[in-house]
């Protein structure tokens, strides 16, 4: 019998997480089944996922009616609904957490996106959410913005697991890893146990190709037949994977450096790269491109259900990260001939990502508000 490629990912050192959550998935046993059959080792959530779950179906009807009868405010209702789902998913994943000794088995819950540029408020909200869920296997998602970096350090130092999200550039990845290291050092210095603060650095992949490919095609249109146009054509669909591979190479260097070893000796965990936004958006590319091309030890890939189903069906597992940095650097060196530069592109993607999550968060609140009103009127 053919080995399930998703299970084979785990055997290759990469943890498959699912980028999806809704109450029916937990109550029906679907999440437990995916853990048992596909080797799923974690769950990520975001406002978009919750908005879709609450807006469709009837899984939340009873709770919303009870909240409406109890006079819950909009934010109280939102917090109750979301934390209940995260808590329930964390309970399903607890055996994975225990078996892996805290390496896996996490559910990620995002700090309110409207706080992305507010360091102090992000820190306070991270603590509030972690305490509200009341489970050790919850990672609080903090955006890897400039304002988010000190919040990452502070939250790690406080002993709260963190998923640093919305990372697009190799430079920002290095800053995120440095913030994690500072947090671990502070936790140890204060007498805390660093083993309780697992962390992942979520590097968003397909969005890079979507943005860069559009720029490359505009270059071809402006200078058809030129050497620059030929270079642009050769780079289509390559920039995202190259960036992620270089980030992985940096990860290997950072967590094998002399400064890391004393922390590791005290039980500190490496902050694993997590590949996010791995659903293929360009139909010309393989539907498992951002899984197959980013497989390697000590990594996580969080996939939307359709990508997970595609990889189960026809994914091929091989180490495509180790030793791939030279080729990745060559891709980005070629892209350096283009305009705008990769850092400018990534900065714009970060801004758009924060805006997109904020829009989804507002839609989520509107959906909860609408359901509350309907329950009250009924």
Question: pLDDT tens digits, residue range 192-240?
Answer: 999 999 999 999 999 999 999 999 999 999 999 999 999 999 999 999 9
Q: Please, what is the average pLDDT of the chain?
A: 95
Spatial separation of the C-alpha atoms in residues 74 and 78, rounded to whole Å: 6
Look at residue 378 in the predicted model and tell me its pLDDT: 66
| 132-177 per-position pLDDT tens digit | 999 999 999 999 999 999 999 999 999 999 999 999 999 999 999 9
pLDDT of residue 375: 87
- Among residues of the chain, what percentage have pLDDT more than 70? 99
pLDDT of residue 87: 97
Q: What percent of the chain stands above pLDDT 90?
A: 90
Q: What is the pLDDT, as a whole number, of residue 2?
A: 79
User: At which residue do the structure tokens 């507002």 appear?
Assistant: 362
pLDDT in tens, 266-287: 999 999 999 999 999 999 999 9
Residue 377, pLDDT > 90, answer no
pLDDT at residue 252 greater than cutoff 90: yes
Number of domains in the chain: 1
pLDDT at 175 (0 to 100):
98
Containing structural domain, residue 261? 5-377
Q: Which residue has the tokens 């891709």?
A: 331
284 is known as an active-site residue: no
Can you give the CATH number for the domain in which 361 is found?
Answer: 3.20.20.70
Annotated catalytic residue within 2, 79, 120, 141: 141
Task: With cut-offs at 50, 70 and 90, classify the pLDDT of residue 47.
Answer: confident
- Measuring CA to CA, which residue among 243, 197, 172, 248 is closest to residue 13? 248
**What is the per-residue pLDDT for 337?**
85
Burial class, 270, CB count within 10 angstroms (exposed 0-12 / middle 13-18 / buried 19+): buried
Residue 300 φ/ψ region, left for φ over 0, alpha for ψ in the -120 to 50 degree band, beta for the rest? beta
Given a cut of 90, is residue 55 above it in pLDDT?
A: no
Res 69: pLDDT: 93
Residue 6 pLDDT greater than 80, yes or no? yes
The rounded distance, in Å, linking the Cα atoms of 365 and 51 is 8
Q: Could you give the CA distance from residue 150 to residue 154 in angstroms, rounded to a whole number?
A: 6
């Amino acid at each position: 019998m053919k080995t399930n490629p998703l299970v084979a990912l785990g055997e290759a050192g990469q943890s498959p997480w699912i980028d999806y959550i809704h109450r029916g998935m937990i109550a029906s046993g679907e999440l437990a089944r995916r853990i048992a059959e596909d080797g799923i080792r974690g769950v990520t959530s975001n406002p978009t996922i919750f908005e879709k779950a609450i807006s469709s179906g009837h899984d939340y009807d009873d709770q919303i009616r009870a909240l409406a009868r109890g006079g819950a405010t909009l934010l109280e209702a939102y917090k109750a609904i979301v934390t209940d789902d995260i808590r329930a998913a964390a309970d399903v994943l607890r055996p994975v957490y225990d078996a892996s000794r805290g390496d896996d088995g996490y559910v990620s819950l995002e700090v309110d996106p409207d706080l992305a540029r507010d360091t102090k408020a992000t820190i306070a909200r991270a603590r509030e959410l972690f305490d509200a869920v009341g489970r050790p296997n919850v990672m609080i998602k903090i955006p890897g913005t400039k304002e988010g970096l000190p919040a990452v350090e502070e939250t790690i130092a406080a002993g709260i697991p963190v998923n640093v999200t919305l990372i697009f550039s190799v430079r920002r990845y290095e800053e995120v890893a440095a913030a994690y290291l500072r947090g671990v050092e502070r936790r140890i210095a204060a007498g805390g146990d660093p083993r309780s603060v697992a962390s992942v650095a979520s590097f968003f992949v397909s969005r890079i190709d979507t943005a860069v490919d559009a720029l490359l095609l505009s270059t071809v249109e402006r200078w058809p037949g030129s050497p620059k146009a030929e270079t642009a054509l050769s780079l289509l669909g390559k920039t995202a994977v190259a960036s992620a591979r270089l980030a992985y190479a940096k990860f290997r260097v950072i967590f094998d450096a002399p400064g890391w070893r004393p922390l590791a000796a005290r039980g500190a965990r490496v902050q694993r790269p997590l590949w996010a936004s791995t659903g293929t958006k360009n139909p010309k590319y393989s539907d498992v491109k951002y899984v197959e091309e980013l497989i390697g030890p000590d990594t996580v890939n969080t996939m939307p259900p359709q990508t997970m189903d595609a990889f189960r069906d026809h994914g091929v597992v091989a180490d495509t990260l180790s030793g791939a940095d030279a080729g990745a650097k060559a891709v980005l060196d070629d892209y350096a001939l283009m305009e705008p530069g990769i850092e400018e592109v990534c900065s714009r993607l970060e801004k758009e990502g924060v805006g997109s999550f904020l829009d989804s968060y507002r839609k989520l609140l509107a959906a909860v508000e609408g359901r509350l009103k309907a329950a009250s009127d009924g």
